[in-house]
Amino acid sequence: MRRDPPAPLHDGIYRTILWALVATVVAGVLTAVVGDTLYRNPAIGRLGSITALIGGALYAFFRYFGARESQRRSKDDEASED
C-alpha cells in the first residue's frame, strides 16, 4: 500500500524561519542586481550574491530538517497507534 509523503511541519516558528529565509534570498538577489546594474559596483553585487547563496543554503537545510522531523513524527504516531 503506497502512502503519501508526510506533510511538512506546521509550527509557526518553522514557517516564520522559512519565510525569513525566502525574504533574505529575495533581498540578496535584488541587492546583487541593483548593485551590478544601477550602481555598477561589483562589491555590492558580490555582497548580494553571497547573501542570496547563504540564505538559499539555509533554506534548503531547514526544508530538509523539517521533512526529516515530519517523517519522524509520523513514524512515532504510527507506533503509538499500534
pLDDT recorded at residue 11: 81
pLDDT recorded at residue 17: 93
Q: Which among 63, 78, 77, 80 has a CA at the least distance from the CA of 9? A: 63
Q: What is the mean pLDDT of each run of 10 residues along the chain (82 residues)?
A: 56 91 98 96 97 98 90 82 70
pLDDT recorded at residue 20: 97
SS3 content of the chain, % helix, strand, coil (to 5): 80, 0, 20
pLDDT recorded at residue 1: 44
Instruction: Delimit the domains of the chain by residue range.
Output: 12-81
pLDDT recorded at residue 51: 98
pLDDT recorded at residue 75: 84
Q: Which among 56, 47, 74 has a CA at the least distance from the CA of 18? A: 56
Residue found under cell 530538517: 65
pLDDT recorded at residue 70: 84
Is residue 55 exposed (0-12), middle (13-18) or buried (19+ Cβ within 10 Å)? buried
pLDDT recorded at residue 8: 62
